[in-house]
Amino acid sequence: MNKNPQEKNPNPELINVTELTEYLYCPRKLYLKKIKQIREPFTLPMLRGMLKHKILDYFNRDEPEMIQSIQSQLSEKEVEALYKLLLEQKVHKVLTKHKSQIANFKLNTSDFYNELLEKSSLDIKEKSNSCYRFLCLGFLGQSLWKNITPKFQTELQLISESLELKGRIDKVEITDSKIIPYEIKTRQDIFESDKIQLAAYALLLESEFNKQISSGIIQSESKKEEIQINKELKDKVIEIKNQIKQLSSFDSVPEMQSNFKKCESCSLKKICLEVE
């Protein structure tokens, strides 16, 4: 389950799941980025996202070793403290490695850490509760890690050559009998494109684990909704993926959005207006 994304060397022709939602939002912008190779300016939100991904990558990679190091009974609070310490160590490692970029963007690292800890608190609580339950059953060390269920994996990167897709899933709940993907949004509303993204992750998980996935969770800041991932949603994923693959055959740039509200905050707005 704990796969190291660094060990994978994905085919550059694979479609990233996030490109599905980008295409639904604005085919023109995705065309400029993917076909014309116009890079978006690196911004503070991009830096924050990159740091978060790296921290959670390291956190997931080292979680099994941390659990296997437990050789005696601990209290629930002590287990939770171990998880928080692991996260703190990974934060320190990543922030140290990227200190020049952090300085350039004047990122407040204390605020960043507190925000990450707050947003990770539910995941840490779920993981520590799961670990503690199996500690109470008498499991220690390697057997503890082996028997813990459910396991919660965050920022799980998956690649499927057969689907021609790749993606990084916000959160996955894994038991012996089922796998549940989560898509977490830092906004109030849930859109249809979020369901497409969740369905794409379900397809990747089915390819990876050879298990049928029929539902998932979309969690916004205001609600948590279970989504039935039916054949219609999965077929829509493949349809949009194929449309993205065809972008390279376009003779001209796709038409501009009719909804100009989408353009107001676009990082490629100026370039987009100049492109014929």
Per-residue pLDDT of the chain (276 residues; tens, 9 = 90+): 444 444 455 576 899 999 999 999 999 999 999 998 998 889 999 999 899 989 988 998 999 999 999 999 999 999 999 999 999 999 999 999 999 999 999 999 999 999 999 888 888 998 999 999 999 999 999 999 999 998 888 889 999 999 999 999 989 999 888 999 999 887 888 899 999 999 999 999 999 999 999 999 998 877 789 999 999 999 999 999 999 999 988 878 888 877 777 888 788 888 888 876
* Residue pair 220/255 in contact by the 8 Å Cβ criterion: no
Stated length of the chain:
276
- Amino acid letter, residue 220: S
Domain ranges of the chain: 14-245
pTM here?
A: 0.81
Q: Are strands 165-174 and 15-16 parallel, antiparallel or unpaired?
A: parallel
